[in-house]
Structure 1
Amino acid sequence: MASRCSPPWPGTSRRRTRHSRLVCFRKWQRNKYVGVSLVGKTLAILGFGKVGSEVARRAKGLGMHVIAHDPYASADRARAIGVELVSMEEAMTTADFISLHMPLTPATNKMLNDEAFAKMKYGVRIINVARGGVIDEDALVRALDSGIVAQAALDVFTKEPPAPDNKLVLHENVTVTPHLGASTVEAQEGVAIEIAEAVIGALKGELAASAVNAPMVPAEVLSELAPFVVLAEKLGHLAVQLVAGGGGIKSVKVTYASARAPDDLDTRLLRAMITKGLIEPISSVFVNLVNADFTAKQRGVRITEERIILDGSPETPIDYIQVQIANVKSKFPSAISETGEITVEGRVKDGVPHLTKVGAFQVDVSLEGSLILCRQVDQPGMIGSVGSVLGEENINVSFMSVGRIAPRKHAVMAIGVDEEPSKVTLRKIGEIPAIEEFVFLKL
């Protein structure tokens, strides 16, 4: 029985299924169906997620050289397994075996077509245990007839069950199974547990990679983006609190800086979380991944996105996220950038979201608690003065950062606090002579 983690390469390369049929009919034809060895052959895995990774481990144990293509795959994880991440072009042109493990999306629909097969090595072998639609079945028949594809092993089809006269099912060089990938006792138990965990997580308000009416994000991508998801929501929550009156937001610009190519960075999930952070504090609406875009449109909030391509390693999906709210007044004027928008910017550091810019001022403060922002004359003793006020009121400071334009000019002090200061405490901070403006932001 085939499984998703151990597709039938040995059966495919040695024509085991056809041998079995022939023996059943009392035909002993050892020389007619000669196979190939897996040792030393190159396997290209298209879709290097959880299943693709497990396939790679097993293929390495069979003595194969394994390469993979997946725009969302972590280079560190690939190196740990001993797999080389390559372009789609290189994967198709160098592989002896190609194993498919990606979801069926508009981008992957009929990904293996006549053009793709024409680039492959003569005699390549194809294994599809993903979704039938990722292969153009008519094109595969032509590739088999021409010899470009020596053999194919298919567990899935575009239409299931396939028609009795399906050319692939009847083809001499095709091994087929009736979508048996998850047909083991262990797999069925695993699916049941996964469903239960997904339901529990959804009820807790956690992100779910399996939601069918939310942005479709593979589990491995969701895991990689998780800290940036938190950062996105907190930046939206922080930005809206800087708006005077807490409303009137019409135009929001979100900028993502990344070393990855634009097509390799899906920002729908991040946009939804920024929308959640912007809208929930000023309304009674509960915003989630499903209704975020609709809710923003309904409230007249136009959210635009921009991507800045950076030089460097693409191992980290995002370098920073910037949120700008245009045409509004701010309760903390220093948050207004030179271009006139309320501007906040953040990064993920060691898995923790940090605020790194307010207006034109560079800061560096963790966003794990609440925040006090102070704009003051840059002079000695300011940190001590504010810290003393907070200490007298038993307010614990978790982090403090000061960003300034130039020495002895103006500075913004960002203070992370574990408790919410009272109005009296905030008034005392505002009464410190050198402090010109301040705001408390509850995160």
Structure 2
Amino acid sequence: MARNIAQADVSMKAGKWQRSKYVGVSLVGKTLAVMGFGKVGSEVARRAKGLGMHVIAHDPYAPADRARAIGVDLLTFEEAVSIADFISLHMPLTPATSRIFSDQAFSQMKKGVRIVNVARGGVTDEEALVRALDSGIVCSALDVFTEEPPPKDSRLVLHENVTVTPHLGASTAEAQEGVAIEVAEAVVGALKGELAATAVNTSMVPAELKDCSLSAFEHGVEDFVPFAHDYLLSVLTELALFVTLSEKLGRLGVQLVGGGNGVQSVKVTYASARGPDDLDTWMLRAMITKGLIELISSVFINLVNADFTAKQRGLRITEVHILLDGSPENPLELIQVQIANVESKFATAISDSGEIKVEGRVKDRKPHLTMIGSFGVDASMEGSLILCRQVDQPGMIGSVGNIIGEENVNVSFMSVGRITPRKQAVVTIGVDEEPRKEALKMIGEIPSVEEFVFLKL
């Protein structure tokens, strides 16, 4: 793309010799913005630095130390796209990234910026990209599209400033051989009784079950299968409501990290009248992992691959059990998820140690959020939440409520958590619909609102 190879090839095959028309640019000294700093994005950054490029990146959930280790600066989305000469997309398609490259994003870019999309077609508003191409703001190389294959008369595909390929990202002989080897190794491992990390239609067998079921297995599969089924069913039946709570606490926590330095270390605390030996938490841990990862990744997390995926991403989860007085009939009193070393503004504002701490319990058979940082709240964890950190003063709830009401957005509940009157407070507002971005911006502009986030649970 930088040297107009595809266009020059077409020109020569048409019998033309147009050297002056296809003058390109060098990569040395140019700024590359890597959008999405996961496994692929970080590898692209390493290779680009080897070409003499200055590399920056945007990923609100990437660990800052991983970026620093290879000399990459993590910036906001707006900062990254505004200073880049080249932009390479490696982000998953999630509700937060869908059509994130919009007219507004293109308007912030340098004229002549070059964009490579080998991630997901849906992260780009393709109509907006065509307008940016027509105006000369960008040129692009695309391997993915919102609709695949794209229509034959697609303006995007036919545009002279676009180089296109039919989703060839993994189409190499080496990649196909690697997939074949990976499948073969997984089959061999499963036949040996090892955990099938990528299975999608089976339940994970926890260490507890492996240990206590050995004698049953030795008597034959006809004894083991009913034993395993009954064990897993009993755990799921007893903890079903807490499974939902666990996933939602993970989803809530990772969204509060947004704009910080990613999730690296998590402590999960279970408060129960049962001792650790009488409380199976592997399923809860898996669902917390699912909540922490799945919202910001294209990886589907299930009970089978949760621990494997967490380890692969460098996510450390520590479990702590607090023994309470009371009847052991109720398996759990509360679950607390604590994300350490978070550099987001929200974390530093609600915690002296810069951490995100959320706590919840099952109330009336539904998951409820009961604490954010040191602020006690009472919020149903269903649908979506608007979370405001603000000064506790008269009129604040009305100001926020008026904006939401004018949007015709229905409020399901509102809860205020504060430690001292007229000091800082955290307000949680449950909404049935998502307000427009303009309305959310208006909430953020209320003088006494110091920070707010819109959360999808």
| Corresponding residue for residue 304 of structure 1 | 369
Measured after TM superposition, the shift of residue 271 of structure 1 is 11
Match of 2:170 in 1: 182
Larger Rg: 1
Matched ranges for 1:105-184 at <5 A? 105-149=94-138, 151-184=139-172
TM-score by length of 1: 0.53
The alignment-based identity, stated in percent, is 54
Question: Counterpart in 2 of 1:29?
Answer: 18
What is the aligned partner in structure 2 of residue 346 from structure 1?
Answer: none
Shift of residue 148 of structure 1?
1.1
Partner Cα distance (1:219, 1:167) in 2 = 42
Residue 338 of structure 2 contacts residue 357 of structure 2 at CA under 8 Å; is this kept in 1? no
Report the 3-state secondary structure (helix = DSSP H, G, I; strand = E; otherwise coil) of the residue aligned with 1:32.
helix
**C-alpha distance 251-244 of structure 1, shift in aligned 2 (>3 A):** closer
Q: Distance in 1 between matches of 2:62 and 2:307?
A: 11
Q: Judging changes above 3 Å, is the alpha-carbon distance between structure 1 residues 166 and 92 closer, same or farther for their aligned structure 2 residues?
A: same
The DSSP-based 3-state class of the residue aligned with 2:82 is helix
Per the TM alignment, residue 256 of structure 1 is displaced from its structure 2 partner at its CA by 3.0
Q: State how 1:51-130 maps to structure 2 within 5 Å.
A: 51-130=40-119
Q: Matched residue of 1:48: which SS? A: coil
User: Deviation per CA, 1:178-226, whole angstroms, max 9, x where unpaired?
Assistant: 0000101222233445563896135555968743567999998764563
In structure 2, what is the Cα distance between the partners aligned to 1:169 and 1:25? Answer: 19
Q: Secondary structure of the residue that 1:68 maps to in structure 2?
A: strand
For residues 307 and 131 of structure 2, what CA distance do their matches in structure 1 show?
32
Aligned length: 268
Letter aligned with residue 304 of structure 1: L
Partner residue of 1:50?
39
| Structure 2 CA distance for aligned equivalents of residues 91 and 218 of structure 1 | 33
Please, which of 333, 341, 344 is the counterpart of residue 261 of structure 1? 344
Structure 1 distance, partners of 2:59, 2:12, is 41
Post-superposition shift, 1:115? Answer: 0.5
- Give the 3-state SS of the residue equivalent to 2:373 in structure 1: strand
Indicate how the Cα distance of structure 1 residues 96 and 63 shifts in structure 2: closer, same or farther if over 3 A, else same.
Answer: same
The aligned residue for residue 352 of structure 1 is none
Tell me: CA distance 1:222–1:301, structure 2 relative to 1, closer, same or farther (3 Å): farther
Correspondence 1:244 to 2:244 = no
Note closer, same or farther for the CA distance 1:180–1:166 as it changes in structure 2 (3 Å cut): same
Q: Aligned Cα RMSD in Å?
A: 3.9
- Give the distance between the partners of 1:263 and 1:115, measured in 2 at CA: 26
- Check 1:219–1:187 CA distance in 2 against 1; reply closer, same or farther (3 A cut): farther
Measured after TM superposition, the shift of residue 262 of structure 1 is 8.0
- Partner secondary structure for residue 369 of structure 2: strand
Distance 1:153 1:56 in 2: 18
**Residue pair 1:46, 1:98 contacting (<8 A) in 2 also:** yes
The alpha-carbon distance between structure 1 residues 92 and 163, as it changes in their structure 2 partners (threshold 3 A), is same
1:200 equivalent in structure 2: 196
Q: How far did 1:21 drift?
A: 1.2
Deviation at residue 302 of structure 1 after TM alignment? 3.5
* Structure 1 residues 171 and 227: CA distance shift in structure 2, 3 A: same
1:226 aligns with 2:226: no
> For residue 119 of structure 2, what is the amino acid of its counterpart?
A
Return the letter of the residue paired with 1:73. A
Decide which moves more: 81-90 or 91-100: 81-90
Whole-Å Cα distance in 1 between the matches of residues 305 and 156 of structure 2?
Answer: 31
**Does the 8 Å CA contact 1:13/1:35 hold for their aligned counterparts?**
yes
Residue 19 (str. 1) matches residue 19 (str. 2): no
SS at match of 1:53: helix
SS in 1 for 2:10: helix
- 1:169 maps to a residue whose letter is V
SS across alignment from 2:167: coil
Q: Do 1:250 and 1:301's aligned partners in 2 also have CA atoms closer than 8 Å?
A: no
What SS is found at the alignment partner of 1:245? Answer: coil
- Distance, in Å, in 1 between the alignment partners of 2:301 and 2:118 is 21
Q: 1:257 to 1:56 in 2, by over 3 A?
A: closer
Gaps spanning 5+ residues in structure 1: where?
1-11, 265-269, 279-295, 310-321, 323-443
Shift in CA distance, 80/250, structure 1 to aligned 2, threshold 3 Å: closer
Question: What code does the residue aligned with 2:344 have?
Answer: A
- Quick one: structure 1 residues 213 and 76, their matched pair in 2 at CA, closer, same or farther if it must change by over 3 Å? closer
In the alignment, the residues of structure 2 paired with residue 217 and residue 70 of structure 1 have an alpha-carbon distance, to the nearest angstrom, of 22
- Verify the 8 A CA contact 2:357 2:373 in the aligned structure 1: no
**2:300 maps to which of 206, 211, 215:** 211
- How far apart, in 2, do the equivalents of 1:14 and 1:217 lie? 43
Task: Quickly say closer, same or farther: Cα 1:173–1:158, change in 2 above 3 A.
Answer: same
Q: Which segments of 5 or more consecutive residues in structure 2 lack a partner in the other structure?
A: 207-281, 294-298, 348-355, 377-457
Contact in 1 for aligned 2:115/2:141 (Cα 8 Å): yes
Task: Tell me if the contact between 2:310 and 2:316 (Cα under 8 Å) persists in the aligned partners.
Answer: no
Q: How far apart, CA to CA, are the structure 2 residues paired with 1:30 and 1:128?
A: 27
> Normalized against structure 2, the TM-score is what?
0.51
